[in-house]
């Protein structure tokens, strides 16, 4: 169980987003990503971190922070990125929708800012891969609220007729809830999102960058790149 303050809203899904795949799986880019994923349903990284920062789920949020996706906006400010942008006629890649459509979830794969729940400088956040979470978060948790025992309450609270009983919310998360979350919009496995940006539309795309398991030269290889962002659930005790 994960413990939260009384006024906390339902915790973010903690069933764990360990990606699993079968050999030979190919990520297909959506024809119109902005139409598929409603930006009004983004909740932002502060809410994701409420549960996914916990040790019991493998510190997944910390792993995202240490990974390349969290730095997607910052990398646009490097000399290398500025040089690439200049060749494309872009003066400032950190202010260009042409760059931010993939380097910031806030742009939701468009050239215009689509949500204020995510800051452009947040980079590529959890919901970029797993989908806007507003609908699936409630489908992933079961809440149990208990009243704090009288002995643990302050004397002032006990004597104040206007004070409400102190309560604690416990959010219980079970593996069975994952299917409910998927039905409500959770994208799992998350590798379905990869080629929205990792494709030949990128100015840094090289069709022979990787050699895949079959020995073929490809521009993007899921297995090799997943190592950089892996955040699996720890095995049960």
Instruction: List all residues 6 or more positions away from 46 whose beta carbon is below 8 Å from its beta carbon.
Output: none
Q: Per residue in 80-89, pLDDT tens?
A: 999 999 999 9
Contact 194, 181 (CB under 8 A): no
pLDDT in tens, 65-102: 999 999 999 999 999 999 999 999 999 999 999 999 99
Q: Answer whether the bond into residue 134 is a cis peptide, omega within 30°.
A: no
Residues 38-67: tens digit of each pLDDT: 999 999 999 999 888 888 888 999 999 999
Measure the CA–CA gap between 132 and 32, rounded to whole angstroms: 15
CA dihedral (172, 61, 24, 109) positive or negative: positive
> Exposure string (b/e) for 168-195, b if CB count within 10 Å is 16 or more?
ebebebeeebbebbeebbbbbebbbbbb
């Amino acid at each position: 169980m994960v413990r939260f303050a009384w006024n906390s809203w339902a915790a973010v899904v903690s069933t764990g987003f360990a990606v699993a795949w079968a050999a030979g799986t190919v990520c297909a880019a959506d024809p119109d990503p902005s139409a598929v994923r409603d930006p009004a349903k983004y909740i932002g990284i502060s809410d994701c971190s409420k549960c996914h920062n916990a040790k019991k789920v493998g510190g997944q949020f910390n792993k995202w922070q240490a990974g390349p996706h969290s730095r997607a906006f910052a990398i646009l400010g490097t000399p290398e990125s500025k040089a690439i942008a200049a060749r494309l006629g872009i003066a400032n890649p950190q202010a260009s929708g042409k760059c931010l459509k993939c380097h910031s979830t806030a742009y939701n794969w468009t050239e215009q800012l689509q949500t204020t729940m995510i800051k452009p400088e947040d980079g590529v956040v959890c919901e970029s891969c797993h989908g806007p979470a507003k609908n699936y978060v409630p489908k992933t948790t079961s809440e149990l609220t208990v009243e704090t025992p009288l002995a643990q309450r302050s004397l002032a609270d006990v004597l104040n007729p206007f004070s409400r009983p102190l309560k604690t919310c416990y959010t219980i998360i079970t593996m069975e809830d994952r299917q409910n979350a998927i039905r409500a919009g959770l994208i799992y496995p998350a590798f379905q999102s990869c080629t929205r940006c990792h494709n030949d539309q990128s100015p840094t795309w090289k069709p022979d960058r990787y050699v895949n398991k079959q020995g073929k030269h490809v521009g993007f290889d899921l297995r090799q790149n997943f190592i950089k962002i892996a955040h699996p659930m720890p095995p049960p005790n």
